């Protein structure tokens, strides 16, 4: 294996390990990774978002997001509100009970923020630039 392939493998390995750590953390709290991401997104933004927004952001199928929304709607952790601009869309937001339930994610936010403080702004900028560049170029190459 040449050095570029080894570097690529290490990059993939780090990304995959990070995802697996989040998946394990989600299971530890009784959720699937996508369920945790739903609560994470709703708690982090504290905004109303649509199911389509969630599908796009989480890169999850509509059926998966719909099932999760129904599950937590029935448990009264989330609520739906018709978008006044587009009646076909419904906004999803956390209820008070949902905010209390999702509060187990708050320590994760703190851990992530503390880890980010250990990385310089220059390093973060480089990582963001490199990963974005790689994704953009890979997308272009694979579309051709």
Whichever domain contains 83, its CATH number is 1.10.10.10
The DSSP secondary-structure symbol of 30 reads T
| Domain coverage including residue 42 | 31-143
In a domain, 20, yes or no: no
The tally of domains found in the chain comes to 1
Residues of the chain with pLDDT under 50: none
Using CB atoms within 10 A of its CB, is residue 31 exposed (0-12), middle (13-18) or buried (19+)? buried
Rounded Cα distance between 17 and 20, Å, is 5
Rounded Cα distance between 144 and 138, Å, is 10
Share of the chain above pLDDT 70, in %: 99
Prediction pTM value:
0.84
In a domain, 25, yes or no: no
In a domain, 22, yes or no: no
In a domain, 7, yes or no: no
In a domain, 1, yes or no: no
Residue 64 burial (CB count, 10 A): 16
Sheet containing strand 49-50, strands side by side:
49-50, 90-94, 78-82
Please, what is the Cα angle at 35 between 117 and 97, to 5 degrees? Answer: 90
pLDDT on residue 87: 87
Longest dimension (CA), the chain: 56
In a domain, 94, yes or no: yes
In a domain, 6, yes or no: no
In a domain, 46, yes or no: yes
């Amino acid at each position: 294996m040449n050095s570029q392939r080894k570097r690529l493998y290490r990059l993939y390995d780090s990304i995959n390990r990070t995802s697996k750590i989040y998946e394990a953390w989600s299971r530890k709290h009784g959720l699937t990774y996508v369920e945790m991401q739903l609560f994470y997104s709703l708690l982090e933004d504290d905004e109303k978002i649509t199911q389509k927004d969630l599908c796009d952001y989480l890169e999850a199928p509509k059926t998966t997001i719909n099932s999760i929304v129904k599950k937590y709607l029935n448990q009264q952790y989330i609520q739906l509100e018709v978008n006044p601009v587009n009646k076909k869309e419904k906004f999803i937001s956390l209820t008070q009970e949902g905010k209390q339930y999702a509060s187990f994610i708050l320590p994760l936010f703190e851990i992530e923020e503390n880890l980010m403080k250990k990385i310089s702004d220059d390093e973060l900028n480089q990582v963001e630039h490199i990963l974005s560049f790689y994704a953009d170029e890979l997308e272009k190459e694979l579309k051709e």
